[in-house]
Chain A
Amino acid sequence: MALSGLEIYKLLPASSKDPEVKKHGNCKECGFPTCLAFAMKLGQKQAELSQCPYVEEESKAQLEASAAPPIRLITLSGDGHKLEVGNETVLFRHEKTFYHQPGLFVRVKDTQADAAEVAKAVGEYTVDYVGMDLTLDGVAVEADGGDFAATVAAVKEACPLPLVLLTEDPVTAEAGLKAAEGIQSLLWAATPENWEAMAKLAGEYKVPLAVHVDGGDVDALAALAEQVQGTGVEDIVLDPGVRDHVSSLSVFTQLRRLALKKNERKVGYPLIAFAGDDPVLAGQHIAKYAGFVVVDGFSPGTVYPLLVMRANIFTDPQKPIQVKPGVYEINNPKPSDPLMVTTNFSITYFSVANEIESSGIPGWLLVADAEGMSVLTAWAAGKFDAERIAKSVTSTGIGEKLDHQRMVIPGHVAVLMGELEEELPDWEINVGPREAVDLPNFLKMQWG
């Protein structure tokens, strides 16, 4: 279980009972000004215990135990492409963040004539979302009575992403693993029947192994994982064998809770989910705890929204909520309508935009990049100054959309008026109200 900053502090030199250790308390050698500051950073996993040269052995053991990730990190790799899954620490993203996006895999069968073509499309697919390149993570090749090894080889050739090999037959599996040598694939799956042979293969080929039981039997799953782990295979992925909405939600939630809240090591592994051709189910798996999501078929009109959903759910909620800087048109403004300036902190943006929108007054809202800070905070931190505002005016080319050169700045930064006039000599700078709620009135009275 994670320790609080103060609990960690009690284990550091400043709190030591041994005067020889205590004399190093607050020594700053870790790079933090005090032991407490270091403890808090350790608690937030933003520092490493090894930064403290004086921590006592006993404390060290306690701290390391508390810091061990409850869900193992599993790495797959393709040709120059790496996927990391696991190490999650919370059940709800607002509690901290979800760290590793689940891998999104498209399933092809070895009986499928266009397997390599699909794989190629999957490998090449990339789409821009707010400046990020979103991509899929790989292809799941299913043994369905065709030439598995040849299909794996063709897929590997066509697509540089990691693979999941879907077969419960050890002989087929080994053929597939051979064909996939050189990359780190996930082997699915060990079952209560075949686990010894599959574990042996996973050991030999050094690949993570998914363990699979039927019908969401958590006990059987844990037992199987323990058996596999007993053979020396450490990288395990769990497949509790649930394929519908309601049972996968229940079982995945239970497994995540067991790992995080009960520290149940036997199920401390990422989960794999099969969503078939149902994007809604795939969406659920993204939000609710899958480490690998396998979908059937590849269609950009479905893949794009799923990738965006994944990006959204795995956005760090601790980061300030930002909107994209730029010009926002509210109530279909004309070139003669007013231009207002604000920052890209989402709450600031929303309150300003909402006020204008609900007033019915058309207007242009220029959102400057203030690194997601509110007007006053950004101004205080030097992220919302005349220079930055002037820069957004030029970079957005807002001037060309208007038939006037007049802008309203927030009342809280009235002091920027002078400098802004110097930065933008052709513009008339008006100081607006301090509060967004007064904007409609201000516009009615002052604009026109």
Chain B
Amino acid sequence: MPTIEVPKEKWSGKVREITLGATAADGGTRAKTVTVGGETTLPYLHFEGDIPHPPAIAIEVQDRKPADWSPVLLEAWGDVTEDPAAWAKAAEEAGADVVMLRFSLHDDLSAEYARETLRVVLDATGLPLIVFGPGQAELDNDLLVPVAEEGKGEKLVLGVCEDKNYRTIVAAALAHGHLVDARCPMDVNLSKQLNILISDMNLPLERVVMDPTTGALGYGMEYGYSVMERLRLAALQGDGMTQQPMLVTPGEEAWRAKEARTEEGVPEAWGDWAERAVNWETLTASALVESGADILVLRHPESVKRVRAMIDALMSN
């Protein structure tokens, strides 16, 4: 009986390998580093290429107890949300590969505050860190520059680095040995353009993760999904400006959705709140794993478990 030849793609490109965090040997203080990227094929098609590293799971920790988080989330974490150091430790215990420290928007933000908060979190965990500002370009600059100085040598991922503030963030990353999270609003071309602009400032692309902007399930998830598939295809086809590992934030986006956030006034057909909410985050994340995410920032410990199980399953070969 003639055998059917299974078609294999011969890709010429490879996703860049990027290492987050630095141990003492590399001039940092992290207990371990995390390397992502390096894929030479589409997600988890082990039969035609290498997937050298599983995607990393980052757990989001905020500088103070979030005012706008769903009770489902706050209950899951308990008291640690009062203290970023304790929270970071709990995140590590919950199975994070990386901790994301996010500054929320409040009146106490200052350069000094940013340095201190970073310091306590660095001291509390040995995991590599991603540090995000509150998401307002100018304020982000004001916080991330001192963060970059304070964390010199730690190979932090600084975010978000956008079209309008990339010069400042990239300069800070260049000066103090960090990485940047290059975020564009769900567009293949814009993502590529930002990578080019950053690379033109001479930040090595080994220090850039790209962030195509995440849409939650039901709220534009599929746009990000397709943009990621296109970026990954372009990367594998050899387009050097799309070969960055991709960071996504399904935790933040999914928990912003009404489906995850609230119980009040929702249709009965939506089912059990906690079940639905965790599913919302998990399914958003898992779709993005399928489309090539390399770093996933999650919020709920149960989602972390489930996404971890999925990643383990996809990596077992």
Contacts and interface: CB of A to CB of B under 8 A. Distances in A.
B is a partner of A: yes
Contacts of B135: 357-358
A321 B185 CA distance: 13
Contact of A312 (B1, B222, B269, B310): B222
B139 A360 contact: yes
A423 B304 CA distance: 53
Interface in B123-176: 135-137, 139, 164
A302 B185 contact: no
Nearest to B221: A312
A1 interface: no
A125 B223 CA distance: 27
B4 A93 contact: no
B7 A262 contact: yes
A345 B242 CA distance: 26
Nearest to A221: B4
Contacts of A229: none
A442 B152 CA distance: 37
Interface in B220-272: 220-223, 225-226, 229-230, 233, 259, 267-272
A246 interface: yes
Contacts of B259: 304-305
Interface stretch (B23-31, B203-211, B283-291): B283-291
A218 B6 contact: yes
Interface string A322-339: 010000000000000000
A218 B273 CA distance: 41
Which applies to chain B's interface (DSSP): helix, strand, loop or mixed?
helix
B249 to A, nearest CB: 15
A284 B272 contact: no
Contact of A309 (B42, B223, B269, B283): B283
Interface in A254-279: 254, 257-258, 261-262, 264, 266-267, 279
A264 B186 CA distance: 35
A258 B4 contact: yes
Interface in B273-317: 273-276, 279-280, 282-283, 286-287, 290-291, 306-307, 309-310, 313-317
A287 B290 contact: yes
Interface in B1-20: 1, 3-7
B272 A300 contact: yes
A101 B4 CA distance: 28
A281 B287 CA distance: 10
A92 B233 CA distance: 10
Interface in A290-343: 299-306, 308-309, 312-313, 315, 317, 321, 323
A322 B93 CA distance: 41
Contacts of B182: none
A244 B313 contact: yes
B45 interface: yes
Given A245-B313, A262-B7, A347-B185, A301 B45 contact: no
B87 interface: no
Given A219-B1, A253-B45, A358-B136, A246 B313 contact: yes
Contacts of B270: 127, 300-301, 304
B271 A222 contact: no
A309 B281 CA distance: 12
A219 B267 contact: no
Contact of A306 (B45, B164, B283): B283
B136 A305 contact: no
Contacts of B73: none
Interface string A112-136: 0000000000000111111000000
Contacts of B95: none
Contacts of A261: 7
A256 to B, nearest CB: 10
B218 interface: yes
A346 B44 contact: no
A253 B225 CA distance: 17
Contact of A93 (B217, B222, B274): B222
Interface in A91-111: 92-94
11 contacts: A250-B45, A253-B42, A280-B282, A301-B271, A301-B273, A304-B259, A312-B218, A312-B222, A313-B287, A317-B223, A360-B105
Given A127-B269, A245-B44, A309-B283, 18 more contacts: A93-B226, A94-B226, A245-B313, A246-B46, A246-B315, A249-B314, A280-B309, A281-B310, A283-B287, A288-B290, A303-B271, A305-B217, A305-B276, A308-B218, A309-B217, A313-B222, A313-B287, A350-B185
Name the 8 nearest CB pairs between A and B, nearest first: A300-B271, A301-B271, A301-B275, A127-B269, A245-B313, A301-B272, A301-B276, A312-B222
Interface of B: 1, 3-7, 42-47, 105, 135-137, 139, 164, 185-187, 217-218, 220-223, 225-226, 229-230, 233, 259, 267-276, 279-280, 282-283, 286-287, 290-291, 306-307, 309-310, 313-317
Interface of A: 92-94, 125-130, 218-219, 222-223, 244-246, 249-250, 253-254, 257-258, 261-262, 264, 266-267, 279-281, 283-284, 287-288, 299-306, 308-309, 312-313, 315, 317, 321, 323, 346-347, 350-351, 354, 357-360, 437
